[in-house]
Chains A and B, each alone.
Chain A
């Protein structure tokens, strides 16, 4: 269902979730949000659990960083403390734990959008409804499509280099190798941009002039309903978490 949802209301909803997760500094709320987003991804978007867990690793690491600094150094940022106090969070819950789950919740909310949205449809929606100029739109689309390709490109660069140096390919690059690959990777990106520009030009992309877009499923009543339901559920969650002890 989420995959067929119009990208703009979905974006609005996900942004609302992230915003809420940033302002409501309560452990229960963050956990509820995290669980809800994960369930949506599992059940509605049918993302395999394995992939979701892999996806969570960097978030968890990031969040764990907050957690350890706050526990080991007790050097929590004044802002977070202040927010926690303002919202009646008891001092017994380490703000680090809240931060940890906030990271996971925000990450999953972003993932809900990223994993269920076709970039082409998203960019076309931006061009159609928000008047994004076509060159900008397709540049954005190019950037979005390039990110997953970077991984494959990196692997190919490493293979070519391993063959050249006569060394076996390591599974995971050591740090020095990773750093030395930065320039070739950037060069690849710039070259890809240059070639895409030529392709766009040869096929007639203009800054001005008449341009139509591939018809996208229009915004419907059900989009509005999902958006409204989602926002209502968010408010409900905020309310429920306010009743919970932490």
Chain B
């Protein structure tokens, strides 16, 4: 029996969306809906049109972002065009894919107060609104007067969340809200955004961590059409293969099971399923989660008791001593604001040290904000700027799946496409012995992420030294030989990456969580 029909908060009816400069629709035609009190996970490969779809919900697309829409969108029972986009702020709150887009660049207090002010909340209550949302998100009070642009990527994301909560709109549209958050912070974000009873549509590339928090999953295919629409418990079980095909990252247990159906029992949690596996399979499992060893070469860069500060900021890391060798991949881990990006700049020699010494040739950094790398009028021109000749340029475009958007302007790319372009510009330059990739997986879909992991190992094998700062423990485990854990203004740990990944206590103390592959590591340890 079905209960009384639940009203729909947001309905897309045969919606197709085309950007002004584009020759074909970015997405659609799709029909989908979000009911009141329902939490929907929207997945899809990079460039499928997820963000564009969200922008259309209040009419930001095509009113403020130039384009054309076919089909109808109904928000809260009214056609979206019946009000201006800004009027809808009382109904629908956005967490854009880039936190710096949700925010405007003021101070933390001004940002959080902005939504309530616009709604005309009684002035006497605004301070409470601000304080309450800061507390809920866990932002220290001392940040109130800090400027957004002096915060780290993840810290901005938290402020964006607080601003969204303060705005108090009943419907939430969140575009990869956890992409730049450390695991524990990501978990709190999911609990706040997706508490039972909330009405929310969330875009994520990795369904794993939030499947427990959603009521329904929708997957868009590469063509921008709805491919799968199911309850969360079915999504990986029944449609795993189709999703993986489309580039959506599946949980490790599912991937292992798909690879060896006879070995890993899908009905059991990974740790229990592993108990039935005989030690003879150790090599296969090891190869599935750990990188092939590479013989490390000479030292490329050495930091000795370095004190690091972000440009124009205070010293945030002291007494950092580490080396990166040729042929080695180093993971830089730590909670948000630990100083990973700061260390990246110092390691590359771009930002001078405040104390201590750096020895070694300069390196290149793929910045956390991919847009920092763009300076030409098209994707192709950016790649041509590397100076490789037409054939290699074509190959690079294809390798990084940028051939379809080669003539687009870099700033009009989707977030994942931007990330790939920025990474390609650094990784394919060929000139740098030392590469530092700052959060390279943020915004990447599962398929590209796996390809990136392979590419990083290839580069290391060619003799480059690579440092990767990341919040994704499984990715770190898959690419890195060694890891450095930053926390509380210094180095907490520096050593073998698998060792760190098995040290649950140390990880949780730093706001991180063990990877999905931790049970496999434990099993390997017991088996050998």
Q: Are A203 and B163 interface neighbours, CB within 8 A?
A: yes
Q: Which candidate, B103-111, B392-400, B443-451, B499-507, is the interface stretch facing chain A?
A: B103-111
B357 contacts partner chain A, Cβ-Cβ < 8 Å = no
Question: Per DSSP, are chain A's interface residues mostly helix, strand or loop, or mixed?
Answer: helix
Which residues from B are CB-within-8-Å of A164?
373, 375, 385, 425, 429
Chain A residue at minimum C-beta to C-beta distance from B129: A214
Starting from the known contacts A138-B104, A142-B105, A156-B311, 12 additional A-B residue pairs (CB-CB under 8 Å) come to A163-B426, A164-B375, A166-B429, A166-B432, A191-B411, A201-B85, A202-B58, A202-B94, A203-B118, A204-B115, A204-B119, A215-B126
B52 contacts partner chain A, Cβ-Cβ < 8 Å = no
With beta carbons under 8 angstroms apart, the residue of A118, A163, A199, A209 that contacts B365 is A163
B523 contacts partner chain A, Cβ-Cβ < 8 Å = no
Q: Are A206 and B86 interface neighbours, CB within 8 A?
A: yes
Nearest Cβ distance between residue B128 and chain A, in whole angstroms? 11
A198 contacts partner chain B, Cβ-Cβ < 8 Å = yes
Nearest Cβ distance between residue A179 and chain B, in whole angstroms? 15
Q: Are A192 and B105 interface neighbours, CB within 8 A?
A: yes
Nearest Cβ distance between residue B113 and chain A, in whole angstroms? 4
B329 contacts partner chain A, Cβ-Cβ < 8 Å = no
A24 contacts partner chain B, Cβ-Cβ < 8 Å = no
Chain A residue at minimum C-beta to C-beta distance from B98: A195
Q: Which positions 255-292 of chain B face chain A at CB distance < 8 Å?
A: none
Which residues from B are CB-within-8-Å of A206?
86-87, 118
Nearest Cβ distance between residue A210 and chain B, in whole angstroms? 4
A11 contacts partner chain B, Cβ-Cβ < 8 Å = no
A237–B127 CA distance with the chains assembled, in angstroms: 42
With beta carbons under 8 angstroms apart, the residue of A141, A145, A203 that contacts B167 is A203
Nearest Cβ distance between residue A150 and chain B, in whole angstroms? 10
* Chain A residues in the interface with B (C-beta under 8 A): 118-120, 138, 141-142, 145-146, 148-149, 151-152, 155-157, 159-164, 166, 168-169, 184, 191-192, 195-206, 209-215
A202–B99 CA distance with the chains assembled, in angstroms: 13
A138–B106 CA distance with the chains assembled, in angstroms: 10
Q: Are B375 and A184 interface neighbours, CB within 8 A?
A: yes
Q: Which of A149, A159, A161, A215 has the most CB of B within 10 A?
A: A159
B132 contacts partner chain A, Cβ-Cβ < 8 Å = no
Given the interface contacts A118-B145, A166-B431, does A199 sit within 8 Å of B121 by beta carbon? Answer: no
A149–B103 CA distance with the chains assembled, in angstroms: 15
Q: Are A156 and B60 interface neighbours, CB within 8 A?
A: no
Q: Are A199 and B101 interface neighbours, CB within 8 A?
A: yes
Q: Are A195 and B100 interface neighbours, CB within 8 A?
A: yes
Chain A residue at minimum C-beta to C-beta distance from B102: A199
Q: Which positions 322-347 of chain B face chain A at CB distance < 8 Å?
A: 345
Nearest Cβ distance between residue B124 and chain A, in whole angstroms? 7
Q: Are A212 and B104 interface neighbours, CB within 8 A?
A: no
A43–B147 CA distance with the chains assembled, in angstroms: 25
Q: Are B114 and A203 interface neighbours, CB within 8 A?
A: yes
B237 contacts partner chain A, Cβ-Cβ < 8 Å = no
B117 contacts partner chain A, Cβ-Cβ < 8 Å = yes
7 A-B pairs with least C-beta separation? A204-B89, A204-B118, A210-B120, A120-B110, A214-B113, A196-B104, A202-B94
Which residues from A are CB-within-8-Å of B89?
202-204
B64 contacts partner chain A, Cβ-Cβ < 8 Å = yes
Nearest Cβ distance between residue A71 and chain B, in whole angstroms? 37
A142–B114 CA distance with the chains assembled, in angstroms: 13
Q: Are B104 and A199 interface neighbours, CB within 8 A?
A: yes
